[in-house]
Structure 1
Amino acid sequence: MIGGRARAVAGAGERARTSDVVVVGGGAAGLSLAYRLVETGAATVTVVEPPDGPGRPAERTWCYWDEGGGDFGEAVAASWPLLRVHGPDGSALTVDPAPSRYRMVRSAAFERLVHARLARSPGGSLLRATADTVRDVPGGAEVRCTAPGGRTLTLRARLVFDSRPLPALPPARTRLLQHFRGWFVRTDSDRFDPAVADLMDFRVPQPRHGLAFGYVLPLAPDRALVEYTEFSRAPLAGTAYEAALGQYTREVLGLGAFTVESAEQGVIPMTDARFPRRTGDAVFRIGTAGGATRPATGYTFAAVQRHSRAVAAALRDGHTEVPPPHGRRALFMDAVLLRALDTGRIDGPTFFTDLFRRTPAHRLLRFLDGATSLREEWGIGLRTPVGPMLRTALEVPFLRRRTHPLPPHPVPRTGEGPR
């Protein structure tokens, strides 16, 4: 435990505050870690998040699966006991992943919940300010911030955990983008089954490179989040997402008359890059910037929860080495899958459909979470196209990592999307 009580001290012409830990960024990763630290008593925490205005992200949707309500059940907007995949031939496969359920959290509800818990804790505090610089200083680290109105603040801590997006992605052997646009729709009549979430619906036109699918999360018989998603090298331009969503909602889903109540859009990097978890003696990266996004799926929220618990446990026990969010074996398997998709050696829609068809649902979800044993992973691997996957596995270790420039003006989501 590195605990002590947070306190404020006077500085020359500015305010200087100290706490055990400063968390930069109030998204899923930053707030989850702050909550775990104060919940376990591992450290006093100050969370720095942008003030209201253009610097704050729009409301986001995070989805995950687990076997219970978890610590954030109050923020869960909806959950589904059944999952469905539509193959490229139109066939539907519905699976029951019990005891797991698929859950949706909206960022606004999550933020309200964690903010309230931090406010009730003597070791937690929230600062609305723009973090300008983060650097090591003797005995810890320093975060210089600008508060609303232009006032300068200096925060000092034993450790800083920074969840802000990276300015550029590290070199990688393969880099795809998961890019999507979603509509929250309300139909004129009941069109959805609130018990079933459609994870992948491949009944959409497929791009020349990569794969595309629909994604439907029912919120009520007449309400749902409906998305069009692609895994490819670059996002779409112009009104292409709107056209794709229009085709999917009207021609594939047959929703009839409906109203779009709101929309969300994002880009999530899917890459086998090595994300540096430590950028100074006392400065660490967390969230997507620290490699929490699962490279082959884009899922982040569940990994952030596991990683936050692990970091809190390490600090409580007196360690300052941050554990990785994913194991090496899981990352290698993801690197192989990304390479196989990018080279076209496997057909993406067929691959994912067969994976759900041939693997027990609960085991598959554990595999996607990196929680399976080597024996279980071997069994799942034998249910994939063995030849192309084996060839790719032998090739990947010898490929050189290189810089993949981001496309112009991507919509940042830092991995915190519905995936």
Structure 2
Amino acid sequence: MDLRSVPPGVVVLGGGAAGLSLAYRLMEAGADAVTVVEPPAGPLRPAERTWCYWERGTGDFDAALTATWSRLRVHGADGAAVTVDPAPLSYRMLRSGPFERLVHARLARSSGTRVLRATADAVRTVDGGAEVRCTDPDGRPLTLRARHVFDSRPLRALPPARTRLLQHFRGWFVRTATDRFDPAVADLMDFRVPQPRHGLAFGYVLPLAPDRALVEYTEFSRAPLTTEAYERALALYCRDILRIGTPTVESAEQGVIPMTDARFPRRTGPAVHRIGAAGGATRPATGYTFAAVQRQSRAIAAAVRAGRPDVPAPHGRRALAMDAVLLRALDTGRIDGPDFFTGLFRTLPAERLLRFLDGATTPWEEWGIGMRCPVGPMLRTAVELPFLPRRSHPVPGGPRSEESPG
């Protein structure tokens, strides 16, 4: 089956958060001939994932949300808790399954947008655009031509970086015999868990009902754990710290997110663009991606409508520079991770801190935040960074999640 006769338009590779979000924004902007290429059922389709983000007011995907929280809590390593109200922002959980069904339903109402189940094998530049060679579920070749291709498929290798940590985690969706959770409060970081020799670890609890929650164990370190090690850590966290006994585990999820100061190229050809995590949308110091994907998708759709398609940087230069310093300071052990993050939540207005984590603060606000950080270790790290070589690192194996605790 040859699709060369399809009117040239836009091809989006990948049907995850980045690909579907861009297709939806293009549809909203009135773009015609948009084709989303999603892998068919099988090993190339990822397991269901959880994405979390903060947003003010109503959002485009509220109909698919699993839960929202109006208050956030952080437990220090000393056991003291700080609970904050980030109004007008709220914290939101979106599962990939409901998100995909919602966006697919909206795309189906557009005559100029379609979803194609196929495996994208190769992308190459041709006169007037790009060509995508695919294989359909029956093994037949397909060829798509487009003016522009936006590729969200995972990278085979990470760009060279000075620092690379991993945010790796396993989570249980649990049910307890009695009510043990406050559905209004999300525990973003619970540093009461035992800390590893290198990096940091924390618990993460998102209540879904008084007797149901997503409970995760997360580490920032150089290498992931075995599934058995995550299971032990989760069991101890539930029993000794949350004191919920042995809950019923209804399902589990596990992921690895690179946290790196690598420079991600956003263009691999004149008409081939990288988007989402593959294009650097993951915030290096936190692992959050979904909100950056939305900003990037809106900007791309506006550029396509104006006739100048381009992929803007998902994060500003100041944010990336600060993240590079923080990652290096954490990796060298110059700052204590639990104390650092707990201190930010204890001393800063919650709404300002979340805007900072989203790259939406002013230089003056960032100066004030910087003065609450360990100035000496941070300055030493900032001075040495320009002299450090960038080295290649493999992409970590195992299931990936585009969003994670933080």
Q: State if a TM-score over 0.5 links the two structures.
A: yes
Q: Is 2:10–2:35's contact at 8 Å kept on the other side of the alignment?
A: yes
User: Which one of the candidate residues 385, 398, 405 is aligned to 1:411?
Assistant: 398
Q: Any idea what SS the aligned residue of 1:71 has?
A: coil
- Structure 2 partner of 1:322: 311
Partners of 2:12 and 2:141 lie apart in 1 by 18
Partners of 1:19 and 1:124 lie apart in 2 by 12
Equivalent residue runs for 1:359-374 within 5 Å: 359-374=348-363
Give yes or no for the alignment of 1:190 onto 2:179.
yes
Q: Is 2:132–2:145's contact at 8 Å kept on the other side of the alignment?
A: yes
- Structure 2 partner of 1:179: 168
Q: Is 1:178–1:298's contact at 8 Å kept on the other side of the alignment?
A: yes
User: Which one of the candidate residues 15, 31, 37 is aligned to 2:3?
Assistant: 15
Matched AA of 1:30:
G
Q: Is 2:329–2:335's contact at 8 Å kept on the other side of the alignment?
A: yes
Q: Is 1:192–1:220's contact at 8 Å kept on the other side of the alignment?
A: yes
User: Which one of the candidate residues 43, 51, 57 is aligned to 2:40?
Assistant: 51
Q: Is 1:134–1:144's contact at 8 Å kept on the other side of the alignment?
A: yes
Kindly state the Cα deviation for residue 414 of structure 1 after the two structures are TM-superposed. Answer: 5.6
Matched AA of 1:326:
H
Q: Is 1:295–1:331's contact at 8 Å kept on the other side of the alignment?
A: yes
Give yes or no for the alignment of 1:99 onto 2:91.
no
- Structure 1 partner of 2:260: 271
Where structure 2 has 5 or more consecutive residues not aligned to the other structure, the ranges are none
| 1:111-132 CA-partner distances (Å, limit 9, x unpaired) | 0011011100122100011111
- Structure 2 partner of 1:112: 101
Matched AA of 1:289:
A
Equivalent residue runs for 1:18-417 within 5 Å: 18-406=7-395, 410-413=397-400, 415-417=402-404
Matched AA of 1:197:
A
Matched AA of 1:118:
L
Note closer, same or farther for the CA distance 1:43–1:382 as it changes in structure 2 (3 Å cut): farther
Note closer, same or farther for the CA distance 1:72–1:238 as it changes in structure 2 (3 Å cut): closer
| 1:328-369 CA-partner distances (Å, limit 9, x unpaired) | 111000000000000000000000000111110000000000
Q: Is 2:51–2:402's contact at 8 Å kept on the other side of the alignment?
A: no
Kindly state the Cα deviation for residue 19 of structure 1 after the two structures are TM-superposed. Answer: 3.9
Partners of 2:33 and 2:358 lie apart in 1 by 30
| 1:273-331 CA-partner distances (Å, limit 9, x unpaired) | 00010000100000110000000000000000011011111111221232111111110
Matched AA of 1:304:
V
Partners of 2:117 and 2:307 lie apart in 1 by 29
Matched AA of 2:298:
R
Note closer, same or farther for the CA distance 1:31–1:216 as it changes in structure 2 (3 Å cut): same
Kindly state the Cα deviation for residue 43 of structure 1 after the two structures are TM-superposed. Answer: 4.3
Matched AA of 2:3:
R
Partners of 1:43 and 1:347 lie apart in 2 by 51
| 1:257-276 CA-partner distances (Å, limit 9, x unpaired) | 42000000000000000001
User: TM-score if structure 1 supplies the norm length?
Assistant: 0.95
Q: Is 2:328–2:381's contact at 8 Å kept on the other side of the alignment?
A: yes
- Structure 2 partner of 1:8: none
Q: Is 2:186–2:207's contact at 8 Å kept on the other side of the alignment?
A: yes
| 1:230-251 CA-partner distances (Å, limit 9, x unpaired) | 0000001251000000000111
Question: What is the CA RMSD across the aligned residues, in angstroms?
Answer: 1.2
Q: Any idea what SS the aligned residue of 2:43 has?
A: coil
The count of corresponding residues between Structure 1 and Structure 2 is 405
- Structure 2 partner of 1:3: none
Q: Is 2:31–2:112's contact at 8 Å kept on the other side of the alignment?
A: no
Partners of 1:46 and 1:417 lie apart in 2 by 29
Matched AA of 2:48:
E
Matched AA of 2:331:
D
State the identity as a percent.
77
Q: Any idea what SS the aligned residue of 2:372 has?
A: coil
Partners of 2:49 and 2:227 lie apart in 1 by 22
Partners of 1:323 and 1:15 lie apart in 2 by 30
Partners of 2:8 and 2:50 lie apart in 1 by 31
Where structure 1 has 5 or more consecutive residues not aligned to the other structure, the ranges are 1-12
User: TM-score if structure 2 supplies the norm length?
Assistant: 0.98
